[in-house]
């Protein structure tokens, strides 16, 4: 009887490893859904005066900025965020500094425009805040998609014998593209049983390429900086050979 994870199938192809470095598309869609809910709530708050006028010109405080409305919006955003975190099987890597700067710049311009109009006219015009909010939303979505599509950094090629084994190589490739991966989610993605995934991951841990931690009762797996470098260099090496 063979020991789980110790068989030596043919090495994974560069295309297979490259595809594994990208997070599951479902996780990206869940994140985008959370972001859309947040933007929709923010737009609803900003547009409350125009909505009042459209619904009969109610006097007094905006119906969407009452304490109850604010609490409802906060609860909806919180529930959406918690549900998304429970459903997602991965946590994304941090976006590149240039991407963060670009989104911050767009957001700053948006806030500055709204503030200037509020000081000048005493209210916000939908002709300004709707396009500005949509531009900010589009920038945020683009940032998330770019982060999802970002390949491993280019590096020198180097051969790592441990990554000639299909199992550890696929595990490390999947871990390299995320900040953290839920073990059960990675098991489903690789279509292997739990003992096999544990054996493959343990080999990476022994080599210093991976770690794990508990989040509640769920084990989550991580690649170390050494592991990210190893899979990037190994992928460059086998790509050159092919």
Tell me how far apart the 2 most distant CA atoms of the chain are, in Å.
Answer: 79
Report the C-alpha gap between 188 and 184 in whole angstroms: 6
Report the C-alpha gap between 9 and 28 in whole angstroms: 31
Report the C-alpha gap between 31 and 10 in whole angstroms: 35
Q: CB within 8 A of 99, min separation 6: which ones?
A: 143, 146, 147
Residue 5 has a pLDDT of 44
Element (H or E) spanning 150, and its range? Answer: none
The full set of domain ranges for the chain reads 26-149, 153-241
Q: Which residue has the higher pLDDT, 222 or 9?
A: 222
Give the sign of the dihedral formed by CA 18, CA 172, CA 225, CA 236.
Answer: negative
153-241 classified as CATH 1.10.10.10: yes
Residue 134 has a pLDDT of 82
Give whole-number Cα distances, 236 to 18, 22, 149, 153, 159, in Å. 10, 16, 18, 10, 9
- pLDDT bracket for residue 6 (50, 70, 90): very low
Q: Which residue has the higher pLDDT, 28 or 98?
A: 28
User: With 60 as the cut, is the pLDDT of residue 210 above it?
Assistant: yes
Report the C-alpha gap between 46 and 144 in whole angstroms: 24
- pLDDT bracket for residue 214 (50, 70, 90): very high
Residue 171 has a pLDDT of 97
pLDDT digits (tens, 9 = 90+) for 34-71: 888 888 887 777 776 666 665 555 554 444 456 776 78
Report the C-alpha gap between 199 and 33 in whole angstroms: 35
Query: What one-character DSSP code corresponds to residue 163?
Result: G
Report the C-alpha gap between 3 and 195 in whole angstroms: 9
pLDDT digits (tens, 9 = 90+) for 147-159: 887 777 778 888 8
What letters, b where the CB count within 10 A reaches 16 and e where it falls short, cover 145-166? eebbebebeebeeeebeebebb
Residue 61 has a pLDDT of 47
């Amino acid at each position: 009887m063979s020991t789980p994870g110790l068989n030596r199938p043919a090495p994974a192809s560069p295309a297979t490893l490259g595809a594994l470095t990208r997070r599951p598309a479902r996780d990206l869609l869940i994140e985008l859904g959370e972001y859309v809910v947040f933007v929709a709530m923010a737009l609803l708050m900003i547009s409350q005066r125009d909505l009042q006028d459209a619904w009969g010109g109610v006097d007094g405080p905006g119906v969407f900025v009452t304490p109850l409305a604010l609490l409802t919006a906060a609860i909806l955003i919180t529930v959406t965020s918690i549900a998304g975190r429970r459903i997602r099987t991965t946590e994304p890597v941090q976006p590149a500094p240039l991407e963060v700067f670009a989104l911050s710049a767009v957001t700053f311009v948006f806030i500055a425009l709204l503030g200037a109009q509020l000081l000048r006219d005493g209210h916000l015009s939908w002709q300004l805040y709707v396009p500005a909010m949509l531009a900010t939303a589009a920038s945020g979505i683009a940032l998330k998609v770019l982060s999802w599509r970002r390949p491993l950094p280019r590096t020198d090629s180097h051969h790592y014998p441990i990554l000639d084994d299909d199992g550890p190589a696929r595990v490390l490739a999947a871990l390299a593209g995320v900040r953290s991966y839920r073990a059960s989610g990675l098991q489903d993605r690789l279509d292997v049983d739990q003992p096999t995934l544990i054996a493959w991951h343990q080999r990476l841990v022994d080599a210093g390429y991976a770690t794990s931690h508990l989040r509640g009762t769920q084990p989550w797996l991580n690649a170390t900086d050494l592991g990210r470098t190893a899979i990037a260099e190994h992928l460059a090496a086998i790509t050159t050979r092919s």
